[in-house]
Structure 1
C-alpha cells in the first residue's frame, strides 16, 4: 500500500501495465455495426493507451496545463475520456469531475466553486459553458472534443503531439490534491470532495485486494469512474452502448451483447442496472457463463434482485455489494452468497441491510446520532453494540475535506490527533459477529413522538408485498412530532390496482413487527425520484414534500 513518505500518481499504474501487458486491450468502445449486423468495437491496448497519454500530456502542457491546474473534464465515456484523465494526472493537474445530471444551476455553482483554469469537454458541454457563463473569470484554456463553434480555444486532436516518448510524470506527495470529485447531491447540495493522489492509489490497491481483480479480467464498465480503476488494475474496460447518466434505463440486450462479444469476466453496475438486466435475463432464460465477478454499489441491493441475477451466473459466482461513499470507498463489503444464506432473513424482519465486515485497512465505529458538528473525537460518543447510530470511518481511503466548504467539512469530519474520521451520514449498527448493518441515511430518519424511525428496516417489511416494487418511509410534520408515511411504487406489470386493498394488506404486514406497527398512512406514487448517478437512491426529500401536500388536511 502507499507509504505516506513516498510519492504517488495514479498514472503510474498505466505505465506499469503497458510494460507488463502491452498488447492486452485496455479500453474497448462500441463503434456502430458491421455489414453483418454485429456490434463493431474500437480499442486501445495498454501500450497504445500509454502512447496516447504521453502525446496528449505534451499537447496539454504546451497550452499551459501543468501541475496544479484545475481542469473540468466533461467527456462522455470513450477512449478520449481515459486518455484525458491519465494525461492530466501525469501532468499533476487536478481533474474536476461533476456529474452533468445534477442540473444546470448546480453545475454552474460547482464549477464556480472549483475555480478551474481549463475546460475539456464535448461540444454540447462547451455550448452550455458559454450560454450559462460557467466561470468565465477563471477558465482561460478551452479544449473541445468534437466540432468547435464560436468559443475559440483548441480542438482536442490538434493537441495530439507527434512525439509518443515518455513525458516526465509529476510524482506527487500522497497528500497533494489530484481531483475534485463532486458528490451527486442526492441528499443535499453537491460538494467537491478533495481526492489526493494517496487516496486514489490506495483505492486501486484495496479494490484489487478485496475482489482479486487483475490483468486476467475484462470488465463491463457501466460507471465511468470505476472504469478508471479497471485500467489501473490492468483489466480491460469495455464500455457498453448506454447512457452512463441513466444506468437504470440501459438496454439489457445491448449489455448482454457486450458481455458475450467480449468475454466479460467482471461486471460493475448500479442496483438499478442489475435489476433491469436480471429481469431481462429471467424473461429470456439468459445465462452469463463468462462472468465470475459482479460488483454492485450505489445503494443497498435487494435480496430478490440478488437472487434473480445469481440465477444468470455460474454456481458459486458472487455479487459483491461494497459499502462506501464518494468521500470514502471501500469501507465494507459483503457478497450475495453470504446475504442470501446468512443475513436475508434478518433483513426481511427489519434489522437493516448487512454490508459486511469493514475492510481491514479501514476503522469503522458507531456514534450517537446528532446533526451538530463533532469537532474532536471522544469515546463518549460511542454507542453500545447493536444500538443504531451514525456510521463513521477512518483510514487511507477516507478523504479529509470538501473544497472551499469549511462548514460542510466541519459537519462531516471528526479530528483525532492528525487523523480524520468521516461521518458517513448513514445510520447503522454492528452485530455480534462484527458485521456492519446499514439502516438508511441519517437525514432520512423520521422523528416521531415515540422516537426515531429508520428507512431501511421499515421499508423492507413493506417491500415484501408481491405487488410492490419498492417503498419509501417519509415523515410529515415537524421534527419530533412527525407522522410516518409509506410511499409505494408498484411493480410495472400491475394493472389491477385497488389501492384500498393494497393499503390494508400493507398495514397487516406492518402490524406484525414492533417497529412498523404504528404506520397507518400509505400513498401510491407512479415513479420515485432517484439519484442521477446510480438511479438507485430514492429521493425521499422530494417524496416527503409530495406526501405532505397530498395528505394536507388529512393528518
Structure 2
C-alpha cells in the first residue's frame, strides 16, 4: 500500500493519506446497479447466509430475488418516492427487502425492533411511511400504525384477520417473476434511505441518504481490501441492519465488492464462534461490549477460528487495555477501530489493517475521499494538530440534511458542506483521529444512542452518567421530589420503562434537593459525572 505522509494542510484541512480512488460519476447510477455490476463474474459464490435459519443465497440468487421482490412491491402499489418502513430483526429477508426497496426507487426507513409503540409511531409519521415490513412477533406494535403490512415468516397472529389495513406476505412478493420488474429512472442524487439519528440537536431526525452516499461509502469501506489485494472475504454481521453501520458499511459495502455475508439476528457468544468456524469467516465488526466479552471469554479454544483475520470495533471508543486483552486471545487477528455517524453514512475513519502506525485510542486515518477539520468551539476557527475542538467532515458520503427539518440541517451542515458532528476530538501530527468526548448531550449505552433530553422530557428529571465496564455509559437520573412526595426509585424506573426502549431505561435513580446549574440556568451535567466518578 502506498500512503501519503502529508495529512494536514495549511488551510487547516486534514485529508486522507490513503491512495485516491475514483468514485462513480454516472449520474444515472442506482445502488442496485452498482451492487450487481460484477456479479455475473461470480454467480455461484455465496452472497448471504442466514446463520439462524440456515438459508443461503448465491449472488445469482440474490440478484434474482431482489428484482422479483421489487416487482412484487410494484404490483402492490409501491412506486418511486414511496417511504417503506422496515421493523424487523436481522435476516436474509431484511437485506433483500432493503435492496428491493431502493431498486424500485422507493425510500427505506429502518426502525429498532426494541422501540415502543409510541417511538415506532413517531418515526412512521415523521417519515411519511406508506407500508411496513415486519415479523409476526412485532404485530402488537405494528397494528396501531394502520398501515399496509408485509410479513416475513409464516406464523401469523390470529388477530391479523381482523386488521383494518391490507396484509401481504413476503413469500408472495418473491414469487413474482423478475421479468415483471420495471426499472424506474434513478439518479445517484435520489434519496435511498431515511435512517434516524439524534444528531447534534437532541430529538430523533431522519437522516437523508442518497444512492450516491451509499455507493461512495461502499467504496470507502472496502478500499483497504482492494489495496491489499485481498481475495473475497467472508463477513459475519450480527450488528443490527436497522443501524447505518450494519446496513451500509457491512451489508451493502461488502456485497458490492463480491464478499460473502453471514447474518445473525443477534449476538450470542457461542453462536458467533460457531458461525466463524462453520462459514470460515475472515472479517467481523463488533461494538465495544462484544469486544469486552471477547477479552473475558475462554470458549474460543473449542472452535476452529483460524480463518479469522480481522475484528473491527466502532460505535464508541475502546481502551488500550481491552484491545490488549483481546489480542492475547486472538494473537493472529488484526484488531482495528473506526469512527462514523449516521450522518456520514456510517464511515469517517478506520485504522489500517496489519497494524500500520497504530496508536491505541485512535480511530485511525480518514478514509479516502473525506476531508476533516477541527474547529474551536468558541471561535469556529480551524485548529492545528493535537488541539481539541469540534470535529467536522466533508465528502461524498455526507448526508443531504435532515428530513423536513431545515432548521436542524442548518445547525449541522454549513454552507461549505461541512458536517458539524458535535463530537470533541483532534488529529495528531500524523493525521490519526482521536474522538475524545461528545459536545452533544447524548450517551451511548451498548452502542445505542440515548438522548438524555428526550428522557428528561418524559420524567422531568436531571441526569448524570456513570461509567460501566460493559455498557460504556448508563443513564442514571437525579430527581428532585416535590414537598411531601413519596416517589420511589422503583416507581420512576417503571414509569420510564413503559415509555422507552430497553436500552434507554434508567439503571439508577438518586433523589436530591437540587442539581448544580450555571449562572444562565444550564444544568452542569459534567459536575454530576465527576461527582459520581470521584465516589468510585
TM-score band w.r.t. shorter chain: 0.7 to 0.9
Matched, 1:290 2:307: yes
Which residue is equivalent to 1:523? none
In the alignment, which of 28, 35, 44 is matched to residue 23 of structure 1?
Answer: 44
- 8 Å contact kept, 1:193–1:403: yes
Q: What residue number does 1:228 align with?
A: 252
Quick check: 1:276 aligned with 2:293?
yes
Residue in 2 that maps onto 1:362: 370
Q: Show CA shifts across 1:216-261 (max 9, x none).
A: 2111111232323332221111123x52xxxxxx321111101001
Q: 1:61 maps to which residue?
A: 74
Residue 355 of structure 1 aligns to a residue whose secondary structure is coil
CA contact (8 A) 2:189 2:210 kept: yes
Deviations for 1:12-68, whole angstroms, at most 9, x for unmatched residues?
Answer: 244334312111111111356xxxxxxxx2211111111111211111111111111
Matched with 1:343 is 359
Structure 2 distance, partners of 1:197, 1:127, is 33
Q: Give the distance between the partners of 1:71 and 1:85, measured in 2 at CA.
A: 9
State the alpha-carbon separation in 1 of the partners of residues 253 and 502 from structure 2: 17
Conserved 8 A contact 2:84-2:109: yes
Indicate the residue corresponding to 1:426 in structure 2.
Answer: 423
1:441 aligned onto 2:435: no
TM-aligned CA distance change 1:24 to 1:285, over 3 Å: closer
* Range with bigger deviation, 194-203 or 150-159: 150-159
Q: Is there any run of 5+ residues in structure 1 with no aligned partner, and where?
A: 33-40, 244-249, 345-352, 371-378, 446-454, 457-473, 475-483, 493-528
1:322 to 328, 338, 356: 338
Residue 172 (1) aligns with residue 193 (2): no
Structure 1 position 92, deviation (Å): 0.9
Task: Measure how far apart 1:117 and its partner are.
Answer: 1.6
Task: State whether residues 358 and 436 of structure 1, in contact with CA within 8 Å, keep that contact through their aligned partners in structure 2.
Answer: yes
Q: Is the 8 A contact 1:400 1:422 kept in 2?
A: no
Distance 2:224 2:412 in 1: 26
Query: Deviation string for 1:170-191 (max 9, x for gaps)?
Result: 3522221111011267983222
Q: CA RMSD in A?
A: 3.6
CA–CA distance in structure 1, aligned partners of residues 34 and 502 of structure 2: 27
Contact 1:99 1:182 in 2 (8 A): no
Report how far residue 105 of structure 1 moved.
Answer: 2.3
CA shift digits 1:435-493 (9 cap, x unpaired): 22211111359xxxxxxxxx99xxxxxxxxxxxxxxxxx9xxxxxxxxx988354689x
> Could you tell me how far 1:210 is from its partner in structure 2?
3.1
C-alpha distance in 2 between matches for 1:91 and 1:173 = 12
Q: Which residue of 2 aligns with 1:153?
A: 167
Q: In structure 1, how many angstroms separate the alpha carbons of the residues matched to 2:470 and 2:211?
A: 44
- Worse overlay, 196-205 or 433-442: 433-442
Distance apart, 1:294 and its partner CA? 2.1
Give the structure, 1 or 2, with the largest relative contact order (CA under 8 Å, sep 6 or more): 2
Does the 8 Å CA contact 2:114/2:502 hold for their aligned counterparts? Answer: no
Corresponding residue for 1:191?
Answer: 205
* CA–CA separation in structure 1 for the residues paired with 2:313 and 2:203: 25
Kindly state the Cα deviation for residue 102 of structure 1 after the two structures are TM-superposed: 4.2
1:487 aligned onto 2:508: no
Check conservation: 1:58, 1:161, Cα contact below 8 A.
Answer: no
Corresponding position of 1:88: 101
CA gap of 1:357–1:407, structure 2 versus 1, over 3 A, is same
Q: Provide the secondary structure at the position in 1 that maps to 2:28.
A: coil
Equivalent runs, 1:306-317 vs 2, <5 Å? 306-315=323-332, 317=333
Q: Which consecutive unaligned segments of at least 5 residues does structure 2 have?
A: 1-21, 242-246, 445-451, 453-462, 472-495, 517-527, 532-536
Q: What corresponds to 1:498 in structure 2?
A: none
